[in-house]
A and B are shown apart, each in its own frame.
Chain A
């Protein structure tokens, strides 16, 4: 165990550059510095395409940083660190496996026996509200249900770090609010540190303890806003409170400048 004062995730001036089109080098994120403590829920908002997802790739070890440091549990990230869960924007459930076997795949990969893995999976399928659908294949489920499968698939491994890349962006408004409530319910008391990337400011405020605003590309951290709304939260009702509206206005002031800049740039390119 790390000492309690030590953050679980630390980015210290982390920069990621890619070889871009036409022999140029594209900077996705530059000099990111942030820390996330265990049990903390951090939302990252920024204009579309600014490099929010890259932040998650760096923490998950799917991509190495070009410069700076990325620490998980005090150790530099090399490869995928232990205890990381990742929910992708698009569907990443295996279409050829049933709901139960999809959820069981994490424990199976980690060496659990088939019966044991299925037992753990059945518990999580039930917890995300899919009891009775264990034998279904993903194509037989709605978009929201597939997200539940992905959520169970991630949570069954008991991640201490949960990385979420706009996981609910493809869902309709009602289903999305549903899934946000569900996520908060399942996360509460798990002690997991969450980095939740989204371009939806409503979603960020409703879920997070802190909202990090990124600049337009190449992205770096512009502002950090604490969200002092009490938990447990009910997403839909939260939006009607005056406190919520005040916070929204404050953050939007900061975010709007970056969104405008991105928009102008894309108009100039078009």
Chain B
């Protein structure tokens, strides 16, 4: 075979190969452009879905196919939101109500999470204790706990305490079961290794069991905060003097469907903000895990 490397191309003859050679820059900028286009199209499509949904709702109400009295309409919900945020509600400023609900949810969430983690890890590490308590936990978990909200209003009154109690019972179980499983699934080798390295029982718990259960616990916090808001709103709905749940209950009482929807939207926004915060926390605490960012990214 002739050594083609040394054969000079005839003068004027085109050099064989792709018409435009790809340099590192063109490859990278091409990839970036494709990524940007994809992101933009995703958002455009999302926007289109919202427009179609709200537009068709507005339209069918406008055409009189469904009754605005029962189903409200986007424009009316929007003006209710504007009214709440500019002039306030019939029961004071909207910020007060948001604050009341968030306060109840956050306090209950904190208490429920701590209790769930402590008891979950404890039972996860003690087979005997877990065996003893298993039937009780299953029974309590089977109770429709949301009904307890009524009891709590009777016991603790219309104020903060009864709502916090409702939130705690909802959050506790969501966190507890994950912490329990997480503490149970700890790699036996890691524990033995730590013990050989000189770790006491407490050190094993703090440096091995808790960190390894962390990914389980954190993933439960997403659902748990959702439960916290549900608990707070249902608690207020059952009996309260302030809060978004109270506004929704009041709107229901006056057949103000737009008010019910407006309350729903405010709760949704709060939940999304919390979800974002917990996601941030998760990424921070689980930095050591491979590809956490890559897994979470498509969900944003």
The answer to whether A109 and B198 touch across the interface, beta carbons within 8 angstroms, is yes
Given the interface pairs A95-B288, A139-B290, the reply to whether A80 lies near B195 with Cβ below 8 Å is yes
Known: A90-B189, A92-B189, A94-B208. A109 touches B288 (CB 8 A): no
**Given that A106-B198, A137-B288, A157-B198 are contacting pairs, would A96 and B193 also be in contact in the complex, using a CB cutoff of 8 Å?**
no
Q: Which residues of chain B have a CB within 8 Å of any CB of chain A?
A: 187, 189-190, 192-200, 203, 207-208, 211-212, 214, 286-290
Instruction: Give Cα distance in the complex from A97 to B289, angstroms.
Output: 10
Residues on the A chain within 8 Å of B198, using CB: 106, 109-110, 157
Q: Say yes or no: A88 contacts B193, CB within 8 Å.
A: yes
- Measured in the bound complex, the distance between the Cα atoms of B197 and A60 in whole Å is 11
A196 contacts B by Cβ under 8 Å: no
29 contacts between A and B (CB under 8 A): A80-B195, A88-B193, A90-B189, A91-B189, A92-B187, A94-B190, A94-B208, A94-B211, A96-B211, A96-B289, A97-B288, A105-B194, A105-B199, A106-B197, A106-B198, A109-B197, A109-B198, A109-B199, A109-B203, A110-B197, A110-B198, A137-B287, A138-B288, A139-B288, A139-B289, A139-B290, A140-B290, A154-B197, A157-B198
Task: Report the number of A-B residue pairs with Cβ-Cβ less than 8 Å.
Answer: 63
* A135-165, CB < 8 A from B: 137-140, 153-154, 157
- Chain A residues with Cβ below 8 Å from B187 are 92
User: In the complex, which residues 74-107 of chain A have their Cβ closer than 8 Å to any Cβ of chain B?
Assistant: 80, 84-86, 88, 90-98, 105-106
Q: A183 at the A/B interface (Cβ < 8 Å)?
A: no
A86 to B207, CA, bound (A): 18
Q: What are the residues of chain B within 8 A of A60 when measuring CB–CB?
A: 196
Counting chain B CB atoms within 10 Å of each CB, which of A80, A93, A140 scores highest? A80
Judge if A67 is at the interface, Cβ distance under 8 Å. no
In the complex, the chain A residue whose C-beta lies closest to that of B212 is: A96
> Which of the residues B192, B203, B211, B212 comes within 8 Å of A86, measured between beta carbons?
B192
A: contact size bracket: 20 to 34
- Selected from B196, B207, B214, B290, the residue in CB contact (under 8 A) with A80 is B196
A26 CB → nearest B CB, Å: 18
Q: Is A62 an interface residue (CB 8 A)?
A: yes
Closest chain A residue to B193 by CB distance?
A92
How far, in angstroms, from A93 to B290 measured CA to CA in the complex? 15
- Docked Cα-Cα span, A213 to B172, in Å, equals 55
Q: Chain B's interface: helix, strand, loop or mixed, by majority?
A: helix
Question: When A and B form their complex, which 3 residue pairs have the shortest distance between CB atoms, in order from nearest?
Answer: A92-B193, A109-B198, A106-B197
- Give the distance to chain B from A268, nearest Cβ to Cβ, in Å: 31
Chain A interface, >50% SS class: loop
- Chain A interface residues toward B at CB < 8 A: 60, 62, 80, 84-86, 88, 90-98, 105-106, 109-110, 137-140, 153-154, 157
Task: Give chain B nearest CB distance to A62 CB in angstroms.
Answer: 6
Most buried by A among B194, B198, B208: B198
- Closest residue of chain A to B215 (Cβ to Cβ) is A96
Give the docked Cα–Cα distance between A153 and B189 (Å): 14
The reply to whether B197 and A157 form a contact with Cβ atoms under 8 Å apart is yes
Tell whether A105 pairs with B197 under 8 Å between CB atoms, given A92-B189, A94-B207, A96-B211. Answer: yes
Residues of A within 8 A of B207 (CB): 94, 105, 109
Please name 20 further chain A to chain B contacts, defined as beta carbons within 8 Å, in addition to the given A94-B207, A96-B214, A105-B197, sorted by A numbering: A84-B196, A86-B196, A88-B193, A91-B189, A92-B187, A92-B190, A93-B193, A94-B208, A96-B288, A97-B288, A105-B199, A106-B197, A109-B194, A109-B197, A110-B198, A137-B287, A138-B288, A139-B289, A157-B197, A157-B198
The CB with the most chain A CB atoms within 10 A, among B207, B212, B214, is that of B207
CB distance from B216 to the nearest CB of A (A): 13
Q: Which residues of A contact B287 (CB under 8 A)?
A: 137
